[in-house]
Structure 1
Amino acid sequence: MKITICQLSDNEIEFAEDWELLKTHISQNNSDLLLLPEMPFCKWVASTKNVNEAAKLDSVQKHEQWISAVEELGVQYVVYSRPVMESDHYFNTAFVYVKGIGHQKIHTKAFFPEEPHFWEESWYSRETNPSFEIVDLGNLKIGVLLCTEMWFTEYARKYGKQGIDLLLCPRATEESSINQWIRCGQTLAVISGAYCLSSNKAGIGDNHFAWGGTSFIAGPMTGDLLGTTTDDEKFVTREIDLSKSREAKTDYPLYVKE
């Protein structure tokens, strides 16, 4: 199976340029699964603590406008998150697009930071009963942790116990914290016994904020890095062996009883 990670600019003009390059990369590499960053299709709205209802609506509309572009990539599976408005609630929700079938909700983000440039607790709502269930795609089982959720490692273990092949982690993280996010992803690959993929926002955001890019793939059992993106190589595709993630479920620490 071929999997692709990417880093995409938070600047909407540069994002459109990145997207054209991504289309070429996908076509040349015949990817089976693509992971996009957290809320990729508009600039980061939670950079200010002042919640703006017009900005919420604009972010929803921009993501809806890009849905057809996701489908046109021709990839079997595309995992991403997007804002969803329900009544007076504003959610950050993960979806998987399955070619020929459509877009399926995975789960809504449940844990939020509240600090400069990441005022997510102020902006977003939580579902009453957050769900961390796997998505069974027939020949592939996936689980998603959205950015901050990666640090709640009990869910990675839960996913592993449910037999996931891929742990997919869209994120929006800054340049200064890149190393700790990579280490976290490597640990999650061991805990879940699955390939851990994470795609991140990149470039310069509001108030000259430096996004981190550096998306990565970590292997099951060992957590070894199998690929990372850079500003010069924004897209990385690797061929993986799903049998390795399935073997990992019988190895340490997955076999340890609760």
Structure 2
Amino acid sequence: MTTARIAYLQWPEGLQPEGPAWDAIRRSVETARPDILVTNEMPFGPWLAEHASFDAQAAQRSIALHERALDALSNLGAAAVISSRPVAFNGRLANEAFVLESNAYRMIHHKKYFPQEPGFFEEAWYVRGAGGFDCMQVGQVKVGVLLCTELFFNDRARAYGRDGADLVVTPRATGTSLARWKTAGTMAAIVSGAWFVSSNRHGPGALGQQFGGAGFGVSPQGVLLEETSEETPVRIVTIDLDAARAQKAQYPCYVKEMP
């Protein structure tokens, strides 16, 4: 049996890559020693999209903070880290999914789907940027990434399954209502035949948006795994890669699509 240890989590709103909160995170990850750590979406500093209008100075501060945080992420004690960060693109920002592995940085893709509503004015801040929905080999695990709202486009998870994904991950920044996210994550696992994990922000934003935490996982058969909480902000799941690969031959993964 081929296995990998995957960490999913909830990190606090406004997190800085140094100080007591970060030291506690570092100790917890060093204890867990995961093969892959999946963070929440753009995990450092304030949540920019609470504000309805793009602010170039605030955008630049967030870019600089996430750039500075790359060293801290690399030194967490995980073999690989999957996260996202804001990068400058065409006068605004792109939300860039990436992997850090063996001190090497690889872009995965820029987020493609954005909400535009109170607390989440992402259309005002972000453009679709570059890159497509390609699987990424991370150690021995083939991974597909769906950044937050991308999770609701179920055809993307199905395509990852066809491409042989062992694991689909969703870094997110979402509110306190979890039901739709659990449903979408469960469907992503079922239609891809892959393991699924999602990490989230936690706590109040500057303008009152409440981020709900509750990172969670799902087996390739659609069985929900344990959630994170304030008491247990990091969870580890040992995934069986052989089980994910075998699931590709099971219903509904084998069903042919219309031409």
Q: Output the TM-score relative to the length of structure 1.
A: 0.94
Runs of at least 5 residues in structure 2 that lack an aligned partner in the other structure: none
Specify the alignment match of 1:246 in structure 2.
Answer: 245
Take 1:244 and 1:13, find their aligned partners in 2: how far apart are those partners?
38
Percent identical among aligned pairs is: 37
Specify the alignment match of 1:107 in structure 2.
Answer: 109
Take 1:60 and 1:138, find their aligned partners in 2: how far apart are those partners?
27
146-155 or 16-25, which deviates more: 16-25
Take 2:147 and 2:241, find their aligned partners in 1: how far apart are those partners?
22
Report matched runs for 1:189-228 at 5 Å: 189-221=189-221, 223-228=222-227
Residues 207 and 14 (structure 1 numbering): CA distance in 2 closer, same or farther, change over 3 Å?
Answer: farther
Take 1:38 and 1:166, find their aligned partners in 2: how far apart are those partners?
17
Residues 44 and 26 (structure 1 numbering): CA distance in 2 closer, same or farther, change over 3 Å?
Answer: same
| Alignment coverage as a number of residue pairs | 254
Take 1:67 and 1:138, find their aligned partners in 2: how far apart are those partners?
19
25-34 or 49-58, which deviates more: 25-34
Superposed displacement of residue 15, structure 1: 8.7
Specify the alignment match of 1:65 in structure 2.
Answer: 68
Superposed displacement of residue 12, structure 1: 3.5
Take 1:192 and 1:218, find their aligned partners in 2: how far apart are those partners?
12
Aligned match for 1:40, one of 40, 43, 48: 43
Aligned match for 1:52, one of 23, 33, 55: 55
Aligned match for 1:80, one of 83, 86, 92: 83
Matched to 1:56, the amino acid is A
Matched to 1:254, the amino acid is C
Q: Give the match's secondary structure for 1:181.
A: helix
Whether the aligned pair in 2 keeps the contact of 1:11 and 1:204 (CA below 8 Å) is: no
Superposed displacement of residue 24, structure 1: 1.4
Superposed displacement of residue 21, structure 1: 2.1
Q: Give the match's secondary structure for 1:240.
A: strand
Residues 13 and 99 (structure 1 numbering): CA distance in 2 closer, same or farther, change over 3 Å?
Answer: closer
Give per-residue Cα distances to partners, 1:3-22, cap 9 Å, x unaligned.
11110111336995443222
Runs of at least 5 residues in structure 1 that lack an aligned partner in the other structure: none
Take 2:88 and 2:47, find their aligned partners in 1: how far apart are those partners?
16
Superposed displacement of residue 27, structure 1: 1.5
Matched to 1:74, the amino acid is G
Specify the alignment match of 2:167 in structure 1.
Answer: 166
Q: CA RMSD in A?
A: 1.7
